[in-house]
Amino acid sequence: MATDRIVGIDLGTTNSLVAFMQGETPVVIPGDDGLNLLPSVVALDANNQPVIGNAARNSLIETPERAVYSIKRLMGRGSEDIQEELKLFPFRLADDLQAGEVLRITLGDKTFTPPEISALILRQLKRSAERFFGGPVTKAVITVPAYFNDAQRQATKDAGRIAGLEVLRLVNEPTAASLAYGLDKKRNGIVAVYDLGGGTFDISILKLHDGIFEVIATNGDTHLGGDDIDNLLITIALDDIRGDLGIDLRRNAEAVQAIRKAVIDAKIALSSQPSVKLDIELPGNKHYLREITRNQYEQLIQPVIDRTVGPCKQAMKDANLKPEQIDEVVLVGGSTRIPKVRALVKELFHREPHTDLNPDEVVALGAAVQANILGGGSEATENMLLLDVTPLSLGIEVAGGVTDKIILRNSTIPASATQFYTTQIDGQTNVAIHVLQGERELAKDCRSLARFDLKGIPPMAAGIPRVEVKFLIDANGILHVSAREQRSGKEAEIQVQPSYGLTDEQVEGMILDSFDNAEEDFRQRQLIEARAETTTILTALEKGKKSAAWGALTTDEKKQIAKMEKSLVAVNAEQDYQAIRKAIDALNQGTMRLAELMMDTAVSSALKGKNMDETDLGEGPTAPHPMAKAEFE
Amino acid sequence: MRAAHFCESCGKVQPPVPVDYFSFFGLPPRLSLDVAALEKSFYELSRKLHPDLNARAGSQEQEWSLEQSSLLNDAYRTLRDPIKRTEYLLHLEGVLLEEQSKSATEQARATGELKKQIVPPDLLEEVFELNLHLEELRMNKKMGDDDPALFEEIGKAKLSLEAKHEALLRELQTYWKEWDGLIDRGPDASTTDRQRVSGKLVDVLNRRNYIRNLVRDVNAAMEN
Ligand SMILES: Nc1ncnc2c1ncn2[C@@H]1O[C@H](COP(=O)(O)OP(=O)(O)OP(=O)(O)O)[C@@H](O)[C@H]1O
Ligand SMILES: [Mg+2]
């Protein structure tokens, strides 16, 4: 049933994954390259068609002006708060960007908002899942950093919608990890999850109690991760090159990307080796050579990883817990593979952290668990319930530009607060409310969420109207506001002006595969794929006919093959992809002996390979697609 | 009686009824409260009301589930904390604690003056001295000087304040008992009695808040 196919998605800064609960265990669904991790890289090919993942990675070096990575850093952000990022990341903002407009990034000669780029990544994952299920997938749980604010969450939800996914829930990444972790451990106690990924850092402290996962405190930094280490190493290399060779490569996007790739490889090697030799080819046939020892590297990155200390201490303070009271520490995120990070965590929490789960996959697996819970649950998730918190306090601006906090950080969500407003002037019919998120005293130091204009207050003497405004943070961590004038009982009209983010109409206009067309889109795509397979198998057959093996078949066999070929050609002209698939399967069966004979003569394995690739399709969840798409020369 | 948050026979979430936080949990408005039992009921109700467990219900039920579980969380957050619980009870009694402090703050802001804190008389001397010391410490910090004796002096004052804070919490609990006695007596308890006890509660809370703010200032001065 299509309605039960709710997938869990980890939309990461560096890597994204899609997972699904297969029976009682969550599994990652591989992409068509057979790999679990989809690099969060988007590029446009020569025909302006989007390319996502590993395929797009090459384009980062070859055509950097047509590619983008780490787009998550820009989700829900305005141009004034990304000035630092722009110095370190090759984001090319659109030239015609207006003040107050949602950011747009240039790829080739087109521009895209961050949610649209994220949507391309999500759509790719959606397609992997559809291939896995043999049917459309329209519902998902998507993870976000726990410390994401309202605008960043809303942007992620918008991305889902643009990708043709109904986002049933946004789950915080560390919390999702704890779900995956708690699934087989079924124990009670206090668990801290330390998640250092590519671009974000989160720390969450949870209380596990008979299947209830109650977050007691969370903290983090949405701009801290492996990217920051990469940027440090890149800067050093660029400085070296400028100093020693006198070439300034900072504006040379290709060279910068080549250096970036090399330093990331070096960084990863340094997690398991005592030293590493960098050897980077530079323009003009020169090489940049440098040896980095583990020791040097660790000194270099210390300031970066030290930035995780403050949030950890604050989270423990908020949870009112000492390190000794924490029973277990779980590591999540690729950057926790760095030995120095592990040492830091051990020092902070006075215990050896858990590393038994794959830090790249655990968040997606947890998202799949949550998807299963939302879908009605199963034996494995019975009794499991997640109680998460809002990471940042919600406030409203009051006289003097001060923030009045109405929902404190670490409040369990859903959470609400009610405020009463009145008028200052006789006959006043509007009241403006400025909603903020953050911990600081002054409104200007907090994050502006939105300005609400309460309209249609019945005209009365000043101070008489009593407008009740209800602020509600839902289970996704997203704010909803409603208002009512109490004396007249009239529902007041609220006009929302989000400080950052797309309007509903804008999102509508961006939708890639609309919901209503999910079935039709899926059918179309299947048809295109099936026809491509027809071409492949017919080409292979032509080849077979010319091979020595053809002669070894009986007349009867040849006649059979000719008949099946003819019917394949016939259905291929029709619209029914399933009929085409059937005909392909039949031809595959019928040419089995030919393929074997050809294999013997080592000609090609295309005919046979095809057969293995497509078995079980359409039967729903059986096994994750174990192989890469076969290649045909 | 607890409000019917969900249907006993079919388990479906019901529309929220406007009730106070105590009634939401089916509790009388008593201040001594078994927090472990409250947590247990919070978990039980969460398992019925949370949106995750009603994700497949109709849109009306989903809306009720969102409202009900936000009410549940708000109520639990308030009642499990001794200070918030007391403040909430006073709010139910019609004492405008928050408004009082808010209007004081706003007035102070409007006149550009520092918000006047009424120093509890028994603390006058101690606070006077502490403020001098804090001022000295801040000056030292500015000049880059270090005065370990002063630091120690402030540390001692802080300990004394923390002890007072503890004592106030104990005092608060004795008034809780008085209050609960009135509740247990039911309609027999007179309005005058209620007002007398709530007055005491307000007084302890104010003194307690004053000391808490003072400790916070001391901590800030010592950390910087
Ligand atoms: N062995 C390793 N040593 C050091 N760093 C590593 C290693 N393996 C992966 N990384 C780094 O981990 C980061 C990616 O981790 P991960 O896939 O968990 O991040 P993400 O989920 O995409 O990001 P985020 O959660 O911040 O959005 C990259 O910066 C990568 O370079
Ligand atoms: Mg991650």
DSSP assigned state of A554: -
Q: In what order do the strands lie in the sheet with A50-52?
A: A50-52, A41-44, A67-69
Closest by CA to A294, choosing from A269, A270, A277, is A270
Q: Is residue A509 a contact partner of residue A102, using CB atoms and an 8 Å limit?
A: no
What distance in Å separates the CA atoms of residue A452 and residue B46, rounded to the nearest whole number?
A: 31
A127 and A12 part of one domain:
yes
Strands A50-52 and A41-44: antiparallel
A400 and A539 part of one domain:
no
Q: Which two tokens stand for residue B165?
A: 């804070």
Strands A201-209 and A189-196: antiparallel
- Give distance in angstroms: CA of A61 to centre of ligand 1: 20
Residue labelled with tokens 């550009």: B112
Q: Do B43 and A212 touch (CB under 8 A)?
A: yes
Q: Is residue A334 a contact partner of residue A360, using CB atoms and an 8 Å limit?
A: yes
A102 and A183 part of one domain:
yes
Q: Is A377 left (phi over 0), alpha (psi -120 to 50) or beta?
A: left
Closest by CA to A285, choosing from A247, A257, A240, is A247
Q: Is residue A53 a contact partner of residue A36, using CB atoms and an 8 Å limit?
A: no
Amino acid A616: pLDDT: 32
A74 and A122 part of one domain:
yes
Per-residue pLDDT at A412 exceeds 90 = yes
Amino acid B104: pLDDT: 56
Q: Is residue A205 a contact partner of residue A220, using CB atoms and an 8 Å limit?
A: no
Per-residue pLDDT at A632 exceeds 50 = no
Closest by CA to A448, choosing from A484, A402, A395, A490, is A395
Whole-number average pLDDT of chain A: 86
Lowest mean per-residue pLDDT among A251-255, A628-632, B131-135 = A628-632
For A252, list phi and psi in degrees, rounded to 5. -95, 95
Question: Exposure pattern of A172-204 as b/e (b: 16+ CB <10 Å)?
Answer: bbbbbbbbbbbbeeeeeebbbbbbbbbbbbbbb
Q: Do A412 and B76 touch (CB under 8 A)?
A: yes
Q: Which two tokens stand for residue B103?
A: 């209007």
Listed in order, strand segments (DSSP E) in B83-174 are none
Instruction: Say if residue A50 is preceded by a cis peptide, omega within 30 of 0.
Output: no
Closest by CA to A332, choosing from A216, A207, A193, A228, is A193
What is the model's pTM?
0.83
Q: Do A373 and B52 touch (CB under 8 A)?
A: yes
* Assigned domain for A259 exists: no
* Assigned domain for A628 exists: no
A468 and A588 part of one domain:
no
A106 and A142 part of one domain:
yes
Closest by CA to A33, choosing from A127, A105, A133, is A127
Amino acid A184: pLDDT: 67
Listed in order, strand segments (DSSP E) in A360-516 are 385-387, 394-398, 402-407, 415-421, 431-437, 447-455, 467-473, 479-485, 490-491, 493-498
Q: Is the dihedral of CA A604, A608, A613, A617 positive or negative?
A: positive
Q: How many residues comprise chain A?
A: 633
Amino acid A228: pLDDT: 94
A118 and A7 part of one domain:
yes
A69 and A22 part of one domain:
yes
| A426: CB partners within 8 A, 6+ apart | A459, A460, A461, A462
Residue in B closest to A209 by C-alpha: B43
Count of CB atoms situated within 10 Å of the CB of A297:
23
What distance in Å separates the CA atoms of residue A514 and residue A503, rounded to the nearest whole number?
A: 17
How does pLDDT run across A550-564, given as a tens digit for each residue?
Answer: 888 899 999 999 999
| A386: CB partners within 8 A, 6+ apart | A171, A175, A179, A213, A215, A370, A373, B52
Q: Which residues 50-79 of B have a C-beta within 8 angstroms of A?
A: 50-53, 55-56, 66-67, 69-71, 73-74, 76-77
Residue in A closest to B112 by C-alpha: A400
- Of A300, A331, A335, the one to substitute when testing ligand 1's pocket (max ligand atoms within 8 A of C-beta) is A335
Does ligand 1 have an atom closer than 6 angstroms to the CB of A172? no
Question: Exposure pattern of B47-84 as b/e (b: 16+ CB <10 Å)?
Answer: bbbbbbbbbeeeeebebbbbbbbbbbbbbbbbbeebee
Per-residue pLDDT at A280 exceeds 70 = yes
Q: Is residue B221 a contact partner of residue B154, using CB atoms and an 8 Å limit?
A: yes
Amino acid A606: pLDDT: 41
Q: What is the CA radius of gyration of chain A?
A: 28
Per-residue pLDDT at A607 exceeds 60 = no
Does ligand 1 have an atom closer than 6 angstroms to the CB of A174? no
Amino acid B216: pLDDT: 85
Closest by CA to A321, choosing from A162, A191, A446, is A191
Does ligand 1 have an atom closer than 6 angstroms to the CB of A485? no
Percent of chain A with pLDDT over 70: 91
How does pLDDT run across A493-525, given as a tens digit for each residue?
Answer: 676 666 777 888 888 878 775 444 566 767 777
List residues bridging with A41 in a β-sheet.
A69
Amino acid A605: pLDDT: 40
What distance in Å separates the CA atoms of residue A477 and residue B185, rounded to the nearest whole number?
A: 43
Q: Do B52 and A385 touch (CB under 8 A)?
A: yes
The residues of chain B scoring below 70 in pLDDT are 1-3, 97-119, 224
How far is residue A524 CA from its own chain's centroid?
26
* Assigned domain for A630 exists: no
- Give distance in angstroms: CA of A333 to centre of ligand 1: 6
Strands A385-387 and A50-52: unpaired
Average pLDDT over residues A486-492: 74
* Assigned domain for A289 exists: no
Q: Is residue A59 a contact partner of residue A73, using CB atoms and an 8 Å limit?
A: no
Residue labelled with tokens 């906090």: A405
Question: Which residues of chain A make contact with B46, given a CB cutoff of 8 A?
Answer: 212, 385, 387
Q: Which two tokens stand for residue A129?
A: 């899942």
Amino acid B25: pLDDT: 94
**Residue A323 domain boundaries:** 2-224+307-383
Burial class (CB in 10 A: 0-12, 13-18, 19+), B13: buried
Q: Do B46 and A212 touch (CB under 8 A)?
A: yes
* Assigned domain for A174 exists: yes
CATH, residue A82: 3.30.420.40
Does ligand 1 have an atom closer than 6 angstroms to the CB of A199? yes
Tell me the residue type at B196.
R
List residues bridging with A485 in a β-sheet.
A467, A490
A379 and A484 part of one domain:
no
A513 and A425 part of one domain:
no
Closest by CA to B44, choosing from B74, B16, B11, B22, is B11
Tell me the residue type at A405.
K
DSSP string, A179-228: HHHHHHH---EEEEEEEE-SS-EEEEEEEEETTEEEEEEEEEETT-SHHH
* Assigned domain for A207 exists: yes
Using the 3D structure, point to which of A320, A355, A383 is the last residue of a domain: A383
Residue labelled with tokens 């995780």: A308
A369 and A414 part of one domain:
no
What distance in Å separates the CA atoms of residue B178 and residue B173, rounded to the nearest whole number?
A: 9
Average pLDDT over residues A14-32: 94
* Assigned domain for A485 exists: yes
Percent of chain A with pLDDT over 90: 49
A492 and A558 part of one domain:
no
Q: Is residue A239 a contact partner of residue A259, using CB atoms and an 8 Å limit?
A: no
What distance in Å separates the CA atoms of residue A210 and residue B40, rounded to the nearest whole number?
A: 11
Say which residue, A23 or A157, is predicted with more confidence: A157
* Assigned domain for A271 exists: no
Q: Is residue A483 a contact partner of residue A467, using CB atoms and an 8 Å limit?
A: yes
Say which residue, A170 or A291, is predicted with more confidence: A170
Min distance B193 CA to chain A CA atoms (Å): 31
What distance in Å separates the CA atoms of residue A85 and residue A77, rounded to the nearest whole number?
A: 11
Q: Do A413 and B73 touch (CB under 8 A)?
A: yes
Amino acid A493: pLDDT: 66
- Residue B216, chain A, CB below 8 Å: the answer is no
Does A404 participate in catalysis according to the annotation? no
Using the 3D structure, point to which of A478, A502, A526 is the last residue of a domain: A502
- Residue B46, chain A, CB below 8 Å: the answer is yes
Q: Is residue A626 a contact partner of residue A617, using CB atoms and an 8 Å limit?
A: no
What distance in Å separates the CA atoms of residue B86 and residue B173, rounded to the nearest whole number?
A: 10
Q: Is the dihedral of CA A365, A370, B72, A394 positive or negative?
A: positive
What distance in Å separates the CA atoms of residue A222 and residue A239, rounded to the nearest whole number?
A: 27
Structurally, chain A folds into a number of domains equal to: 3
CATH, residue A432: 2.60.34.10
Query: Residue A187 — very low, low, confident or very high, per pLDDT cuts 50/70/90?
Result: confident
CATH, residue A548: 1.20.1270.10
What distance in Å separates the CA atoms of residue A39 and residue A321, rounded to the nearest whole number?
A: 37
What distance in Å separates the CA atoms of residue B13 and residue B54, rounded to the nearest whole number?
A: 8
- Give distance in angstroms: CA of A17 to centre of ligand 2: 10
| A388: CB partners within 8 A, 6+ apart | A146, A171, A172, A175, A215, A412, A413, A475, A477
What distance in Å separates the CA atoms of residue A124 and residue A39, rounded to the nearest whole number?
A: 11
> Measured between CB atoms, which of B53, B77, B109 is closest to A399?
B109
Using the 3D structure, point to which of A466, A481, A502 is the last residue of a domain: A502
Q: Is residue B169 a contact partner of residue B130, using CB atoms and an 8 Å limit?
A: no
Distances (CA, A) of B100 to B86, B103, B202, B214: 16, 5, 11, 20
